Structure 1
Amino acid sequence: MVIPRRFATLIAALAALVMVTAMQPIAQAAPDPGSHRYLVTGAKTPQQRSGLARTGASIDRVRDDGSVEVSAIPAEVAAIKRLGLKLSALPAEKPVPGLAATSYHTYAETLAEIDQTVANYPQIAKKVVFGKSYQGRDIVGVKISDNVNTDEAEPEVLYIANIHARERITDEQALDLIGILTKQYNSTARITDIVNSREIYIIPIMNPDGQVYDMTSDTQPGRMWRKNRQPNSTSIGTDLNRNFPYKWGCCGGSSGNGSSETYRGPSAASAPETNVMMNFVNSRIVNGVQQLKLFLDIHSNAKLVLWPFGYTYSNTVPGTMTSDEEATHRTIGTQMAQSNGYTPEQSSDLYITDGTTDDWTWGTQRSGTQRLFSFTVELAGSSFYPPPSQIDSLVSNNRNALLTLTEYADCPYRAIGKQAQYCSA
Structure 2
Amino acid sequence: MAKLPRPLVAVLTALLLAVAAQLPAGAAPAPPAPSSGRYLVTGPSNAQQRSQVARTGAAIDSVRGDGSIEVSAIPSELAAIKRLGFRASALPAPAPEPSGRAATSYHTFAEMQAELDAVVAAYPQIVRKVVIGKSYQGRDIVGVKISDNVATDENEPEVLYISNIHARERLTAEQTLDLIATLTKGYGSNSRITNLVNGREIWLMPMVNPDGQVYDMTSDTQPGRMWRKNRQPAPTDLNRNFPYKWGCCGGSSGNVNSETYRGPSAESAPETKVLTNFVRSRVVGGKQQLKLFLDIHADAAMVLWPFGYTYNDTAPGMSADEAATHQAIGRDLASSNGFTPGQSSDLYITDGTTDDWTWGDQRIFSFTIEVAGGSFYPSPSRIDSLVAGTRESLLRLTEYADCPYRAIGKQGQYCPAGLRR
TM exceeds 0.5?
yes
Q: TM-score, normalised by structure 1?
A: 0.89
Q: Which residue of 1 aligns with 2:15?
A: none
Compared CA separation, residues 411 and 390, structure 1 to 2 (3 A) = same
Q: 1:327 aligns with which of 324, 329, 347?
A: 324
Using the TM superposition, give the Cα deviation of residue 32 of structure 1 relative to its aligned residue in structure 2, in angstroms: 7.3
Aligned residues between the structures: 385
Q: What is the aligned partner in structure 1 of residue 120 from structure 2?
A: 118
Closer, same or farther: CA 114–363 of 1 in aligned 2, 3 Å: same
1:358 equivalent in structure 2 = 355
Alignment partners' CA distance in 1, 2:88 and 2:76: 14
Aligned twin of 2:283: 285
Output the amino acid matched with 1:151: D
Question: Judging changes above 3 Å, is the alpha-carbon distance between structure 1 residues 218 and 392 closer, same or farther for their aligned structure 2 residues?
Answer: closer
CA offset at residue 97 of structure 1? 1.9
The 1:33/1:132 distance shift into structure 2, 3 A limit, reads closer
Q: In 1, are the aligned partners of 2:97 and 2:221 still within 8 Å (CA)?
A: no
CA distance in structure 1 between the aligned counterparts of 2:292 and 2:34, rounded to whole angstroms: 40
Query: Which structure 2 residues correspond to residues 13-412 of structure 1 after superposition, within 5 A?
Result: 34-97=35-98, 100-101=101-102, 103-217=105-219, 219-232=221-234, 237-318=235-316, 320-365=317-362, 371-412=363-404
1:289-328 Cα deviation digits (max 9, x unpaired):
000000000000010000000000000013x101100100
Cα pair 2:101 2:220 within 8 Å, conserved: no
Shift of 1:223: 1.1
Q: Give the Cα–Cα distance (whole angstroms) in 1 for the partners of residues 229 and 101 of structure 2.
A: 20
Whole-Å separation in 1 of the counterparts to 2:327 and 2:87:
33
CA contact (8 A) 1:95 1:385 kept: no
Compute the displacement of 1:407 (Å): 0.3
Contact 1:162 1:298 in 2 (8 A): yes
CA contact (8 A) 1:309 1:347 kept: yes
Q: Confirm or deny: 8 A CA contact 1:301 1:379 kept in the other structure.
A: yes
More deviation, 97-106/132-141: 97-106
Q: What SS does the aligned partner of 1:398 have? A: helix
Give the deviation of 1:219 after TM superposition: 4.6
Paired AA for residue 180 in structure 2: I
Code of the residue aligned with 2:310 in structure 1: it is T
Counterparts of 1:417 and 1:397, CA distance in 2: 27
Q: Summarize deviations over 1:36-69 as a string: whole Å, max 9, x none.
A: 0100001110000000000000000100000000
In structure 2, the residue corresponding to 1:340 is in which secondary structure? Answer: coil
Matched AA of 1:397: G
Q: If you compute each CA radius of gyration, which structure gives the higher value, 1 or 2?
A: 1
Is the contact between residue 125 and residue 145 of structure 1 (CA under 8 Å) also seen in structure 2? yes
SS in 1 for 2:378: coil
Deviation at 1:95, TM superposition (A): 3.8
State the shift of 1:33 in Å. 5.3
The 1:61–1:388 alpha-carbon spacing in structure 2 relative to 1, beyond 3 Å, is: same
| 3-state SS of paired residue (1:200) | strand
Check whether the contact 2:59–2:260 (CA below 8 A) recurs between aligned residues: yes
Give me the whole-angstrom Cα distance separating, in 1, the residues matched to 2:175 and 2:56.
31
The alpha-carbon distance between structure 1 residues 328 and 32, as it changes in their structure 2 partners (threshold 3 A), is closer
Distance 1:150 1:171 in 2: 27
Q: Aligned with 1:140: secondary structure?
A: strand
Aligned to 2:3: none
Cα distance in structure 2, aligned partners of 1:49 and 1:352: 8
Unaligned runs of 5+ in 1: 1-30, 366-370
Query: What CA distance in whole angstroms lies between the structure 2 residues aligned with 1:198 and 1:37?
Result: 42
Structure 2 unmatched ranges of 5 or more:
1-31
